Protein backbone atom coordinates (compact mmCIF):
# COMPACT_ATOMS: atom_id res chain seq x y z
CA UNK A 1 0.00 0.00 0.00
CA UNK A 2 1.47 3.31 -1.04
CA UNK A 3 1.08 6.39 1.11
CA UNK A 4 -0.61 9.50 -0.27
CA UNK A 5 1.58 12.12 -1.90
CA UNK A 6 1.98 15.38 -0.01
CA UNK A 7 4.23 17.36 -2.36
CA UNK A 8 2.93 20.50 -4.03
CA UNK A 9 3.63 19.08 -7.52
CA UNK A 10 1.39 16.02 -6.95
CA UNK A 11 -1.82 16.13 -8.96
CA UNK A 12 -4.64 13.74 -9.81
CA UNK A 13 -8.07 13.73 -11.42
CA UNK A 14 -10.90 15.10 -9.29
CA UNK A 15 -13.12 12.03 -9.67
CA UNK A 16 -10.24 9.68 -8.79
CA UNK A 17 -9.46 11.66 -5.65
CA UNK A 18 -13.11 11.74 -4.51
CA UNK A 19 -13.24 7.95 -4.90
CA UNK A 20 -9.89 7.45 -3.13
CA UNK A 21 -11.00 9.75 -0.28
CA UNK A 22 -14.10 7.53 0.10
CA UNK A 23 -16.73 10.18 -0.55
CA UNK A 24 -18.21 7.81 -3.15
CA UNK A 25 -18.29 4.01 -3.28
CA UNK A 26 -17.67 3.87 -7.03
CA UNK A 27 -15.63 6.08 -9.31
CA UNK A 28 -18.59 6.39 -11.68
CA UNK A 29 -20.61 7.82 -8.79
CA UNK A 30 -17.92 10.43 -8.25
CA UNK A 31 -17.86 11.22 -11.97
CA UNK A 32 -21.66 11.61 -12.11
CA UNK A 33 -21.65 13.87 -9.04
CA UNK A 34 -19.01 16.17 -10.57
CA UNK A 35 -20.86 16.28 -13.90
CA UNK A 36 -24.13 16.97 -12.07
CA UNK A 37 -22.70 20.03 -10.32
CA UNK A 38 -22.67 18.42 -6.86
CA UNK A 39 -18.93 19.03 -6.50
CA UNK A 40 -17.34 22.46 -6.83
CA UNK A 41 -13.60 23.10 -6.96
CA UNK A 42 -12.62 26.46 -5.45
CA UNK A 43 -16.20 27.64 -5.91
CA UNK A 44 -16.44 26.71 -9.60
CA UNK A 45 -18.22 23.86 -11.35
CA UNK A 46 -15.62 21.73 -13.13
CA UNK A 47 -15.31 18.53 -15.15
CA UNK A 48 -14.31 15.17 -13.61
CA UNK A 49 -10.91 15.15 -15.33
CA UNK A 50 -9.87 18.46 -13.75
CA UNK A 51 -6.50 18.25 -12.01
CA UNK A 52 -6.68 18.52 -8.24
CA UNK A 53 -3.76 19.77 -6.15
CA UNK A 54 -2.98 20.20 -2.47
CA UNK A 55 -4.67 23.24 -0.92
CA UNK A 56 -7.73 23.17 -3.21
CA UNK A 57 -11.14 23.72 -1.63
CA UNK A 58 -13.96 21.33 -2.49
CA UNK A 59 -17.68 21.83 -1.84
CA UNK A 60 -19.26 18.36 -1.94
CA UNK A 61 -23.02 17.71 -1.77
CA UNK A 62 -24.18 14.13 -1.25
CA UNK A 63 -27.94 13.91 -0.75
CA UNK A 64 -28.80 16.39 2.00
CA UNK A 65 -25.24 16.33 3.34
CA UNK A 66 -23.00 19.22 2.26
CA UNK A 67 -19.30 19.34 3.15
CA UNK A 68 -16.50 21.80 2.51
CA UNK A 69 -13.05 20.22 2.61
CA UNK A 70 -9.48 21.31 1.97
CA UNK A 71 -7.25 18.85 0.08
CA UNK A 72 -4.27 17.90 2.29
CA UNK A 73 -2.80 14.99 0.29
CA UNK A 74 -3.18 13.42 -3.15
CA UNK A 75 -4.01 9.77 -3.81
CA UNK A 76 -5.27 8.12 -6.96
CA UNK A 77 -5.66 4.65 -5.43
CA UNK A 78 -8.30 3.73 -2.88
CA UNK A 79 -6.88 2.71 0.48
CA UNK A 80 -8.22 2.10 3.95
CA UNK A 81 -10.58 4.52 5.66
CA UNK A 82 -7.84 5.73 8.00
CA UNK A 83 -5.63 6.63 5.02
CA UNK A 84 -8.60 8.28 3.27
CA UNK A 85 -9.23 10.56 6.27
CA UNK A 86 -5.70 11.95 5.97
CA UNK A 87 -6.37 13.16 2.42
CA UNK A 88 -8.58 16.07 3.48
CA UNK A 89 -9.53 18.37 6.32
CA UNK A 90 -13.12 19.49 6.78
CA UNK A 91 -13.57 23.18 7.60
CA UNK A 92 -15.00 24.22 10.97
CA UNK A 93 -17.91 26.01 9.28
CA UNK A 94 -18.79 22.84 7.40
CA UNK A 95 -18.77 20.73 10.56
CA UNK A 96 -20.99 23.25 12.37
CA UNK A 97 -23.44 23.43 9.44
CA UNK A 98 -23.70 19.62 9.27
CA UNK A 99 -24.34 19.40 13.02
CA UNK A 100 -27.04 22.07 12.77
CA UNK A 101 -28.71 20.27 9.84
CA UNK A 102 -28.58 16.99 11.78
CA UNK A 103 -30.37 18.62 14.73
CA UNK A 104 -33.05 20.07 12.44
CA UNK A 105 -33.68 16.66 10.86
CA UNK A 106 -33.86 15.05 14.29
CA UNK A 107 -36.67 17.34 15.41
CA UNK A 108 -38.56 17.39 12.10
CA UNK A 109 -41.71 15.32 11.73
CA UNK A 110 -41.34 12.00 9.98
CA UNK A 111 -42.77 12.07 6.44
CA UNK A 112 -46.19 10.43 6.43
CA UNK A 113 -46.53 10.59 10.24
CA UNK A 114 -50.01 12.10 9.91
CA UNK A 115 -51.23 9.25 7.70
CA UNK A 116 -52.91 6.38 9.50
CA UNK A 117 -53.00 3.32 7.29
CA UNK A 118 -55.01 2.91 4.14
CA UNK A 119 -57.47 5.56 2.95
CA UNK A 120 -61.12 5.04 3.80
CA UNK A 121 -63.84 4.85 1.17
CA UNK A 122 -64.63 8.50 1.86
CA UNK A 123 -60.96 9.51 1.49
CA UNK A 124 -60.70 7.60 -1.77
CA UNK A 125 -63.76 9.39 -3.18
CA UNK A 126 -62.23 12.73 -2.23
CA UNK A 127 -58.97 11.78 -3.95
CA UNK A 128 -60.86 10.72 -7.08
CA UNK A 129 -62.81 13.98 -7.10
CA UNK A 130 -59.63 15.99 -6.64
CA UNK A 131 -57.77 14.06 -9.33
CA UNK A 132 -60.60 14.59 -11.83
CA UNK A 133 -61.10 10.91 -12.62
Instruction: Write down the domain spans for the chain.
Output: 1-98
Query: Is residue 84 within 8 Å of 22, Cβ to Cβ?
Result: yes
| CATH code, 1-98 | 3.10.290.10
Please count the residues of the chain. 133
Say how many Å lie between the first and final Cα of the chain, rounded: 63
CA distance 122 to 120: 5
The answer for residues whose C-beta is within 8 angstroms of residue 111's C-beta and 6 or more apart is none
Percentages of the chain per state (helix, strand, coil), in multiples of 5: 35, 20, 40
Q: Read off the pTM.
A: 0.76
Please give the mean pLDDT across all residues of the chain: 89
User: pLDDT digits over 73-98, tens only?
Assistant: 999 899 999 999 999 999 999 999 99
Amino acid sequence: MSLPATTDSARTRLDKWLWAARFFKHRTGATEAVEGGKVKLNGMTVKPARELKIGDRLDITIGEDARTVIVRAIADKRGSATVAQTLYEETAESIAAREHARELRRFAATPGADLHGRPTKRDRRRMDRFGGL
